[in-house]
Chains A and B, each alone.
Chain A
Amino acid sequence: MISWPNLVSQLFNGLALGALLALISSGLTIIYGTLGVLNLAHGAMFMIGGYAGFVTYQYTESFVLAVIAGSLFVMLLGVAMERVIIRHFYHRPHEDQLLVTFGLGICFVELVRLIFSSQSQIVPPPPLFQGITNLGFMFYPTYRLAVVGIVAVALGALFLVLYRTRLGMIVRAGIEDSVMVDSLGINVYRVFMVVFGIGAAAAGFAGIVNAPVVSLTPGIGDDILVQTFVVVVIGGVGSFPGAILGGLIAGEIISVTSMFNPGYAYVMLFAAMTLVLVVRPHGLLGVQGRE
């Protein structure tokens, strides 16, 4: 028996969940699409964005500054990571990239645990978005509503950078054929650094924007990383629109399945991913030809 108000609530909730997953996944997929690097430290960077924002909030009590600081800090971390470590791995096997980013992720998590302990930390939503909104068919946390808007704006900005700027053009060309871009006299490696920074900033931004929804712990990036990979695979590895589509699909699957049988939410998510992989091995909007 379907309760219609509950179904509509869950569909809406799926949208909110999906928006966030789309944002985190977009960073991951941009980095993979452009640089061919599977960044397993992406979940840890999401977590660090939350903590950097948390520290800023402690000192300034400004959520806006927290968001800026969280994004910038992780962007700088991403750039440093790319310059110091990742660039040595562009031409190495994927296994090496996976292990090194995986290792970095562990180091980041343990470092944060050392500094902040495992106890949860709270970042309250900005006063403007506190409380609950009556949507007519349900009550929904105002901040979660705001997150949908914030994510939409962030994804829009990312879209503009990727599709309406020269940098974006180079990045997208790099996804298709980095050798050709290089031969045109563009310093591909400098572009790579910027791309890594943008991808990392997206994770950091998502981390602090998500912080008032959850309570921060050092392990917060672990689960999100798995979901993010599922989103990327469903949408198509390396595809920015794919990350958005994949995120929304994943959000709806988790939310709607939870209405009928919560225990199967993740089973259905992985079942959907498997189905997509069988029917479209490159994902729904995946870029053909990249290995």
Chain B
Amino acid sequence: MTDKLVRRGLSRRGLLQTTAGLIGGSVLPALPAFAEDKPAIGTYPAGVSGSTAFIGISVPRTGTYAVQGEDELKGYQLAIEHINSGHDLIKKISPKTSKGVLGKELKFGVADSAAKPNEAVQAQQRFISENKAIMITGGTSSAVAVALNKLAQREKVIFVCGISGSNDTTGKDCVRYGFRQNFFGQTAAAAIGPVMVREFGKGKKAAYLTPDYTYGHTVTKSMQDFLAAAGWTTVTNQVAPLGAPDYSSYLLNVANSGADVLINVNWGHDAVLSTQQAKQFGVLDKMKLVVPYQVPFIARETGGLMQGVYAATDYWWTIEDKFPLAKMFNEAFEKKYGYKPEWGAENAYVSFAHWARMCEEAGSFNPPDVIKAYEKGETIPSLVGDVHYRPEDHQCVRPVIIVKGKQQKDMKNKEDWYDVVEIVPGEGLMQKPDAFGCHLGDYT
């Protein structure tokens, strides 16, 4: 009985997350309306032979990354709405877009990945086989992104990555069919490292809180490598499982480590909880906090604990002063959802807008053609200025934004959490394309 009891207890989350999956509009295409010269590959041309094209979206709606997943989903939905209606903002990024992509209306289905690779793969496999999804997306957890990379390459369906911070996603686990827009561990370290050395000095002692999977380990390694050059040492690296319910044990080790700076690599609810508890344990009074891969919403969720804290991020809404497209995006997003968009929404929106552009440029949904459009490496617009995708590893070369938490008295409104300290150009932050062992694989 007791054995059974524990098995049930343990399987609860898995079952919960499976049950919580949501599958959206099933759109099976009609018979092919026309035949193209290109050979069938993946879901092409079956998936786009009717008047619509289907996208499979898997975001975490439960678990430690649920808040970020919902934000990302809003970004995807807004992008699809804009693409289908030929919104001015989309036209700025993809000038050939009129209504839909190549004249086809976008439909989509949403599934809860719960930030678990197996859940995401199952959902996307279903979208590919049942809905003939022509493009899939997902991430927020790099473990999910890496798993979907493999699925995309196997199924020959383009994967546009959601948030994923691991070096591996466009590094050793890169694939021909996967593309990533947002920044990652290496670029985070290269962008925020100099700021930390400038602010805190050389030869400092650092303590790390690291989530135990590909994202956490690669971000921590990148930070350690970068800071070692400035004489920084790691006095402790506390590795906790994803979704740890309590960080007290880890924080006691940090508190007793004698570190000068706590580098919190955790993300999502884990980052919120660990930062709050670091405050409770007096760790933040003893040492400075840095969040090298800033989690959206951490400032509002920790209720002000980010004041004075440096963080690297993809996007912060106040850059609208410098980037007109960011301003357009912020306005459209806020009008629809009632709050300023954060990085998840921006990443989602831009990823879809770029994909739409590439399809239009290729003049086809044929995956190898779309991939080759990305691989031209053309300079294209995004919300943070012009960017391009590296043909060698399919990583978008884009700036990283360094923010510093504002003191409450300096906040101009309730969402004015950060000062933008620096917008670091992407080119100088990137490792060499082959530094993380990327081998892209085949087109067909």
Which of B3, B12, B64, B238 is in CB contact (< 8 Å) with A226? B12
Q: Is the pair B16, A106 in contact by a Cβ cutoff of 8 Å?
A: yes
B303 proximity list for chain A (CB < 8 A): 122
Q: Is the pair B248, A233 in contact by a Cβ cutoff of 8 Å?
A: no
For A, the interface residue count at a CB cutoff of 8 angstroms equals: 66
Which of A6, A40, A141 is in CB contact (< 8 Å) with B256? A6
B280 proximity list for chain A (CB < 8 A): 132, 141, 143-144, 213
Q: Could you tell me the dominant secondary structure of chain A's interface residues?
A: helix
At the interface, yes or no: A168 with Cβ under 8 Å from chain B?
A: no
Interface residues of B in 2-21 (CB under 8 A from A): 2-6, 8-10, 12-13, 15-16, 19-20
At the interface, yes or no: B380 with Cβ under 8 Å from chain A?
A: no
Q: Is the pair A263, B9 in contact by a Cβ cutoff of 8 Å?
A: no
Q: Is the pair A105, B12 in contact by a Cβ cutoff of 8 Å?
A: yes
- A109→B112 CA distance, assembly (Å): 15
Contact digits for A1-38, partner B, Cβ 8 Å, 1 yes 0 no: 00101100110011011000000000000000000001
Specify the chain B residue showing the minimal Cβ separation from A263.
Answer: B239
Q: Is the pair B281, A141 in contact by a Cβ cutoff of 8 Å?
A: yes
A113 proximity list for chain B (CB < 8 A): 62, 66
Report the minimal beta-carbon distance from B185 to chain A, rounded to whole angstroms.
19
B281 proximity list for chain A (CB < 8 A): 132, 139-141
Contact digits for A229-242, partner B, Cβ 8 Å, 1 yes 0 no: 11011000100000
Contact digits for B1-45, partner A, Cβ 8 Å, 1 yes 0 no: 111111011101101100110000000000000000000000000
Specify the chain A residue showing the minimal Cβ separation from B64.
Answer: A219
Interface residues of A in 109-151 (CB under 8 A from B): 109-110, 113, 117-120, 122, 132, 138-141, 143-144
A144 proximity list for chain B (CB < 8 A): 248, 280
Interface-centre pick from A113, A117, A132, A215 (highest chain B CB count, 10 A): A215
Which of B2, B10, B238, B252 is in CB contact (< 8 Å) with A6? B252
Binds B, one of A65-73, A196-204, A254-262: A254-262
Q: Is the pair A258, B2 in contact by a Cβ cutoff of 8 Å?
A: no
- A224→B245 CA distance, assembly (Å): 7
At the interface, yes or no: B427 with Cβ under 8 Å from chain A?
A: no
B282 proximity list for chain A (CB < 8 A): 132, 139, 141
B248 proximity list for chain A (CB < 8 A): 13, 16-17, 144, 255
Q: A5-B256, A119-B67, A138-B252 are in contact. Are A227 and B301 (CB under 8 A)?
A: no
Q: Is the pair B12, A258 in contact by a Cβ cutoff of 8 Å?
A: no
Which of A5, A6, A225, A230 is in CB contact (< 8 Å) with B12? A225
- A285→B243 CA distance, assembly (Å): 31
- A291→B241 CA distance, assembly (Å): 34
Which of A219, A227, A255 is in CB contact (< 8 Å) with B62? A219
Report the minimal beta-carbon distance from B203 to chain A, rounded to whole angstroms.
23
A213 proximity list for chain B (CB < 8 A): 246, 277, 280
At the interface, yes or no: A220 with Cβ under 8 Å from chain B?
A: yes
Which of A17, A120, A254, A282 is in CB contact (< 8 Å) with B269? A120
Specify the chain A residue showing the minimal Cβ separation from B244.
Answer: A223
At the interface, yes or no: B226 with Cβ under 8 Å from chain A?
A: no
At the interface, yes or no: A181 with Cβ under 8 Å from chain B?
A: no
Q: A9-B256, A141-B281 are in contact. Are A263 and B241 (CB under 8 A)?
A: yes
Q: Is the pair B66, A118 in contact by a Cβ cutoff of 8 Å?
A: yes
B240 proximity list for chain A (CB < 8 A): 262-263
Q: A109-B16, A222-B13 are in contact. Are A227 and B245 (CB under 8 A)?
A: yes
Interface-centre pick from B62, B70, B243 (highest chain A CB count, 10 A): B62
- A254→B301 CA distance, assembly (Å): 27
At the interface, yes or no: A56 with Cβ under 8 Å from chain B?
A: no
Q: Is the pair A17, B12 in contact by a Cβ cutoff of 8 Å?
A: no
Q: Is the pair A226, B10 in contact by a Cβ cutoff of 8 Å?
A: yes
Specify the chain A residue showing the minimal Cβ separation from B19.
Answer: A106
At the interface, yes or no: A55 with Cβ under 8 Å from chain B?
A: no
Report the minimal beta-carbon distance from B324 to chain A, rounded to whole angstroms.
30
Interface residues of A in 274-291 (CB under 8 A from B): 277, 281-283, 290-291
- A106→B255 CA distance, assembly (Å): 37
- A143→B9 CA distance, assembly (Å): 30
Q: Is the pair A119, B13 in contact by a Cβ cutoff of 8 Å?
A: no
Specify the chain B residue showing the minimal Cβ separation from A233.
Answer: B2
B61 proximity list for chain A (CB < 8 A): 118
Q: A17-B246, A226-B9 are in contact. Are A118 and B2 (CB under 8 A)?
A: no
Which of A10, A13, A40, A273 is in CB contact (< 8 Å) with B8? A40
Q: A213-B280, A219-B63, A237-B5 are in contact. Are A262 and B239 (CB under 8 A)?
A: yes
Report the minimal beta-carbon distance from B237 to chain A, rounded to whole angstroms.
9
Specify the chain B residue showing the minimal Cβ separation from A125.
Answer: B280
- A229→B239 CA distance, assembly (Å): 24
Interface residues of B in 192-216 (CB under 8 A from A): 212
At the interface, yes or no: B273 with Cβ under 8 Å from chain A?
A: yes
Q: Is the pair A3, B256 in contact by a Cβ cutoff of 8 Å?
A: yes
At the interface, yes or no: B276 with Cβ under 8 Å from chain A?
A: yes
- A72→B272 CA distance, assembly (Å): 29
Interface-centre pick from A118, A222, A230, A277 (highest chain B CB count, 10 A): A118
At the interface, yes or no: A164 with Cβ under 8 Å from chain B?
A: no
- A105→B15 CA distance, assembly (Å): 12
A138 proximity list for chain B (CB < 8 A): 252, 255-256
At the interface, yes or no: A266 with Cβ under 8 Å from chain B?
A: yes
Report the minimal beta-carbon distance from A48 to chain B, rounded to whole angstroms.
16
At the interface, yes or no: B127 with Cβ under 8 Å from chain A?
A: no
Q: Is the pair B269, A217 in contact by a Cβ cutoff of 8 Å?
A: yes
- A6→B70 CA distance, assembly (Å): 39
Pull 29 A–B residue pairs with CB atoms less than 8 Å apart, ordered by A.
Answer: A9-B252, A13-B252, A17-B248, A40-B8, A102-B12, A106-B16, A106-B20, A113-B62, A113-B66, A118-B66, A138-B252, A140-B281, A144-B280, A213-B277, A215-B302, A219-B66, A222-B12, A223-B243, A225-B9, A226-B10, A228-B9, A229-B6, A258-B253, A259-B253, A262-B240, A262-B250, A263-B240, A273-B6, A282-B2
Which 8 A-B pairs rank lowest in CB-CB distance, beginning with the nearest?
Answer: A258-B249, A229-B9, A118-B66, A141-B280, A223-B245, A132-B282, A120-B301, A6-B256
Q: A9-B255, A138-B256 are in contact. List 9 more A-B contacts (CB 8 A).
A: A6-B252, A117-B70, A119-B300, A140-B281, A215-B273, A217-B66, A220-B245, A230-B6, A237-B1
